[in-house]
Amino acid sequence: RERGAGLALLLQALGEPRPPPQLGPLLCNLSQLPEGRRGLLDRSRCSVQRLLPFTQYKDSAVHRRGVVGALRNCCFEHGE
């Protein structure tokens, strides 16, 4: 399996009309790992741009909290 393919599927699920409720917390948990943060910060995927609208997602506080947590965790990734 291609490395990072799972993250691409998760980000694709964000584009669904009603994303799964566990998606935000899952992304938050994955972003605690250096590999997860690097995947989210990969410029070729435009992940941060996909996550930003969910910081104001009115349909679910769970999504909002999870995405905000993921973005916060990405702030701890440093370039080498």
Pull the structure tokens for residue 51: 């996550």
Q: What is the pTM of this model?
A: 0.83
Q: Residue 12 class from Cβ within 10 Å (0-12 exposed, 13-18 middle, 19+ buried)?
A: exposed
Among 74, 9, 76, 80, residue whose Cα is nearest residue 42: 74
45-65 burial, b at 16+ Cβ within 10 Å, e below that, comes to eebeeebeebeebeebeebbb
The helix (run of H) or strand (run of E) holding residue 27 is helix 23-30
- Domain edges within the chain: 5-75
- pLDDT in single tens digits along all 80 residues of the chain: 455 578 888 888 888 888 888 999 999 999 999 999 999 999 998 899 989 999 998 988 999 999 999 999 999 887 65
